Amino acid sequence: MGRLSILDYSWRDRRRKEDWQLSEVPTLARVRRQPPRVRAVEVSRVTKLSEHRTRVQFVGDLADFSLAGPVGHIKVYFPHPHQNGIDFAALAMPRGSRPPSAPIARTFTPRKFDSTAGTLDVDFFVHGEGPASSFAQSALNGQQIAISGPSRPHLLQPNLWQLLVGDESAIPAIETILEALPADARGSVVLEINDLVDRPNLVAPEGVEVICVIHNPQLSHCAEMLATIKDLAIPAVPIQVFVAAESVGIRALRRELLSRDLQIEQITTRGYWRFGEAGHPDSDMGED
Ligand SMILES: Cc1cc2nc3c(=O)[nH]c(=O)nc-3n(C[C@H](O)[C@H](O)[C@H](O)COP(=O)(O)OP(=O)(O)OC[C@H]3O[C@@H](n4cnc5c(N)ncnc54)[C@H](O)[C@@H]3O)c2cc1C
């Protein structure tokens, strides 16, 4: 089996290539992207969590699905408006060579998986136009779509002081982190939401304060969170930071956090969506 050229590396592998010894460079068989294992699922319950947040529960091909920790993401596939259902044959093709009929993919956080009941909950922010948002707005029991994943989870260090920052799209991720923290965990959650009616009732350990600010449409996304974090007293203890929100906004947040004597290794930033862009990629770590 031949060695890889740099062009063959996936995005994540490219980031790590400098760390590899020549003898460790994976063989083609191990690294070349296989089409993901696609699971057919159908809607089994729709719950309106708030004005613009909807939980969709799925059942289906989930027998060997599992979550190894908080935040791992899944791909959710939607048919095009003119199609009756998911084109599974197109999804079985390698990513670069799929036909235009291939389903539309969006990225979401598995909010909860109940292996006994075989149910998977995904919480959608209904922000407006977009295949995922529109699906969540009108989802009906029995509706069939598909998912793949999950990805690897967030490497949570539960004993560190936690700073969790995000907008509505990150509420499910932040909730999975909060659920994974011990009762004596300490930290702060800073949320920026568009409308008070969508303020989530976060269940957090007693030592984790929750600050919720309202987005000012005159300002850029994350501007209110940025102002809050500038004023936030970050204790001089080991800390772990998770930030997920609009792509441009998280970069400003990252710059601010790095100016606060935090080390790069302590900070995870994720651009979950980008203003004005449909289908923003899931690889946006905001590190540029
Ligand atoms: C790892 C990861 C996990 C995620 N988990 C979740 C999750 O659990 N729940 C969730 O709701 N979202 C989550 N997101 C964000 C979600 O993937 C995006 O919001 C996605 O763009 C929604 O797809 P869409 O088809 O509705 O809109 P698109 O077709 O992608 O976009 C259409 C238009 O809507 C705008 N738009 C997209 N998202 C938003 C938004 N959140 N607020 C305002 N405008 C928006 C775009 O800028 C564009 O102009 C996650 C993203 C990532 C990368």
CATH number at residue 235: 3.40.50.80
Verify that 137 and 170 share a domain, yes or no: no
Of 287, 277, 285, 282, nearest in space to 95 by CA:
282
Listed as own residue / partner, the contacts of 255-264 with beta carbons closer than 8 Å and 24 or more positions apart are 256/226, 256/229, 256/230, 257/229, 260/234, 262/234
- Confidence at residue 8, expressed as pLDDT on a 0 to 100 scale: 34
pLDDT band at 23 (very low <50, low <70, confident <90, very high): very low
Verify that 129 and 171 share a domain, yes or no: no
Q: How far is CA 45 from CA 54, 78, 122, 126, 162, in A?
A: 10, 17, 11, 16, 33
Asked if the model's pLDDT at residue 221 lies above 60, the reply is: yes
Residues pairing with 162 in the sheet: 187, 240
- Confidence at residue 261, expressed as pLDDT on a 0 to 100 scale: 83
Residue 111 identity (one-letter amino acid): R
- Confidence at residue 33, expressed as pLDDT on a 0 to 100 scale: 61
- Confidence at residue 18, expressed as pLDDT on a 0 to 100 scale: 35
29-59 pLDDT, tens digit per residue, is 444 566 789 999 999 999 999 999 999 999 9
Q: Is 153 in the pocket of ligand 1 (CB under 6 A)?
A: no
- Confidence at residue 11, expressed as pLDDT on a 0 to 100 scale: 34
- Confidence at residue 36, expressed as pLDDT on a 0 to 100 scale: 82
- Confidence at residue 5, expressed as pLDDT on a 0 to 100 scale: 34
Calpha distance 117→162 (Å, rounded): 32
Minimal-distance CA residue to ligand 1 atom 40: 127
* Mean pLDDT (whole number) for 10-15: 37
Residue owning tokens 């979950």: 272
Q: Check: CB of residue 147 under 8 Å from CB of residue 59.
A: no
Give me the CATH number covering residue 97: 2.40.30.10
**Ligand 1 centroid, distance to 219 Cα (angstroms):** 19
* Mean pLDDT (whole number) for 197-203: 98
Q: Is 135 in the pocket of ligand 1 (CB under 6 A)?
A: no
pLDDT band at 16 (very low <50, low <70, confident <90, very high): very low
- Confidence at residue 6, expressed as pLDDT on a 0 to 100 scale: 33
Verify that 170 and 269 share a domain, yes or no: yes
Strand order in the sheet with 53-60: 104-108, 74-78, 144-148, 38-50, 53-60, 119-125, 110-114
Verify that 179 and 243 share a domain, yes or no: yes
Ligand 1 atom closest to the CA of 281, numbered from 1: 53
Verify that 141 and 206 share a domain, yes or no: no
Verify that 175 and 257 share a domain, yes or no: yes
- Confidence at residue 28, expressed as pLDDT on a 0 to 100 scale: 47
Q: Check: CB of residue 57 under 8 Å from CB of residue 108.
A: no
124-161 pLDDT, tens digit per residue, is 999 999 999 999 999 999 999 999 999 999 999 999 99
Residue 247 forms part of a structural domain: yes
Tokens, residue 210: 């929750």
Q: Is 107 in the pocket of ligand 1 (CB under 6 A)?
A: yes
Residue 13 forms part of a structural domain: no
- Confidence at residue 284, expressed as pLDDT on a 0 to 100 scale: 97
**Ligand 1 centroid, distance to 272 Cα (angstroms):** 6
Whole-model pTM?
0.91
Ligand 1 atom closest to the CA of 151, numbered from 1: 1
Calpha distance 66→213 (Å, rounded): 34
Most informative mutation of 54, 71, 77, 169 for ligand 1 (most atoms within 8 A of CB): 169
Q: Is 240 in the pocket of ligand 1 (CB under 6 A)?
A: no
**Ligand 1 centroid, distance to 178 Cα (angstroms):** 22
pLDDT band at 21 (very low <50, low <70, confident <90, very high): very low
Between 7 and 86, name the one with better pLDDT: 86
Verify that 143 and 213 share a domain, yes or no: no
Verify that 131 and 186 share a domain, yes or no: no
Q: Check: CB of residue 233 under 8 Å from CB of residue 209.
A: no
Report the domain count for the chain.
2
**Ligand 1 centroid, distance to 22 Cα (angstroms):** 39
Residue 249 identity (one-letter amino acid): G
Verify that 110 and 186 share a domain, yes or no: no
Verify that 125 and 177 share a domain, yes or no: no
Residue 3 forms part of a structural domain: no
Minimal-distance CA residue to ligand 1 atom 42: 127
Verify that 248 and 201 share a domain, yes or no: yes
* Mean pLDDT (whole number) for 80-94: 94
pLDDT band at 180 (very low <50, low <70, confident <90, very high): very high
Ligand 1 atom closest to the CA of 133, numbered from 1: 26
Domain that holds residue 77: 38-148
Minimal-distance CA residue to ligand 1 atom 24: 130
Ligand 1 atom closest to the CA of 270, numbered from 1: 53
Question: What proportion of the chain, given as a percentage, has pLDDT over 70?
Answer: 88
* Mean pLDDT (whole number) for 183-209: 98
Residue 21 forms part of a structural domain: no
Residue 16 forms part of a structural domain: no
pLDDT band at 95 (very low <50, low <70, confident <90, very high): confident
Q: Is 280 in the pocket of ligand 1 (CB under 6 A)?
A: yes
